[in-house]
């Protein structure tokens, strides 16, 4: 399959981080600041109350997911909390071919796949200031019951350890203060864009 991403002029930006760390907010602020495009993942999980179908995710069935994966339609995919998530390949290729910044908000498993296929992808990982702060934030979201919060917390600690061990992240950004973390993410991406233009 021809791979437009391999010769593209744009920048593929991966943003990962554990649940509750504020990565979605940071990713959307980077999107606005850099006039970037946000990749809309496909997922087999059910839409939650705050989810806008077709905007936050494309919600699809397990059968459709398997068909798209097997057809090579997904740039990467992973199973998270028992559900499948994947990045549609075509919008990424189109966006990069047009020279834009494309943001993938994906987990570490997905980021490893993308980096192995497209080593020129730039990857940021958002860290909480501490484990206790992360646990407090997961509780404050009021999205889950205590058992689910504990599962997310355990998974978050595992995700951080896996990210550090993977060696694929170009920078780790601590979200101690949202404005500062957003600015650091923007600065890092702009520095990378300048480096590539030089
Ligand atoms: P949530 O269900 O809370 O929206 O997302 C759960 C996790 O799945 C998050 O860590 C999120 O970054 C990750 N995720 C969302 N979309 C994708 C995707 O397309 N690929 C991969 N690998 N992970 C994803």
pLDDT in tens, 72-87: 999 999 998 899 999 9
Where does the pLDDT of residue 19 fall: very low under 50, low under 70, confident under 90, or very high at 90 and above? Answer: confident
Q: Pick the atom of ligand 1 nearest to 19's CA.
A: 10
pLDDT tens for residues 113-143? 999 999 999 999 999 999 999 999 989 887 7
pLDDT at residue 141, as a whole number: 80
Contacts of residue 156, defined as CB under 8 A and 6 or more positions apart, other chains included, come to 18, 19, 20, 21, 128, 134, 138
Pull the structure tokens for residue 96.
Answer: 């990069």
* Mean pLDDT value of segment 53-76: 97
Q: Measure the CA–CA gap between 21 and 26, rounded to whole angstroms.
A: 9
pLDDT at residue 9, as a whole number: 77
Q: Check if 95 has its Cβ closer than 6 Å to any atom of ligand 1.
A: no
Burial (Cβ within 10 Å: 0-12, 13-18, ≥19) of residue 185 = buried
Q: Check if 17 has its Cβ closer than 6 Å to any atom of ligand 1.
A: no
Handedness of CA 108, 110, 114, 117 (dihedral sign): positive
H or E element, residue 186: helix 178-197
User: The sheet that has 11-16: what strands, in order across it?
Assistant: 37-38, 101-105, 11-16, 122-127, 171-174
Q: Pick the atom of ligand 1 nearest to 41's CA.
A: 19
* pTM recorded for the entire structure: 0.93
Residue (of 66, 59, 106) closest to 87 by Cα position: 106
From atom 9 of ligand 1, which residue's Cα is the shortest distance away?
Answer: 107
Q: Check if 110 has its Cβ closer than 6 Å to any atom of ligand 1.
A: yes
């Amino acid at each position: 399959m021809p791979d437009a991403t391999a010769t593209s002029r744009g920048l593929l930006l991966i943003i990962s981080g554990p649940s509750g760390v504020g990565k979605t907010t940071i990713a959307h602020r980077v999107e606005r600041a850099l006039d970037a495009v946000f990749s809309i993942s496909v997922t087999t999980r059910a839409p939650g109350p705050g989810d806008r179908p077709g905007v936050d995710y494309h919600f699809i069935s397990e059968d459709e997911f398997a068909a798209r994966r097997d057809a090579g339609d997904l740039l990467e995919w992973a199973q998270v909390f028992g559900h499948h998530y994947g990045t549609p390949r075509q919008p990424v290729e189109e966006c990069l071919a047009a020279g834009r910044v494309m943001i993938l908000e994906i987990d570490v498993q997905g980021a490893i796949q993308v980096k192995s296929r497209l080593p020129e992808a730039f990857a940021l990982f958002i860290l909480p200031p501490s484990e206790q702060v992360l646990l407090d934030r997961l509780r404050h979201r009021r999205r889950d019951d205590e058992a689910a919060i504990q599962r997310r917390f355990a998974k978050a600690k595992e995700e951080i350890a896996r990210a550090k061990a993977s060696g694929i992240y170009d920078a780790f950004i601590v979200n101690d203060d949202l404005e500062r973390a957003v600015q650091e993410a923007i600065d890092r991406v702009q520095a990378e864009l300048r480096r590539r233009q030089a």
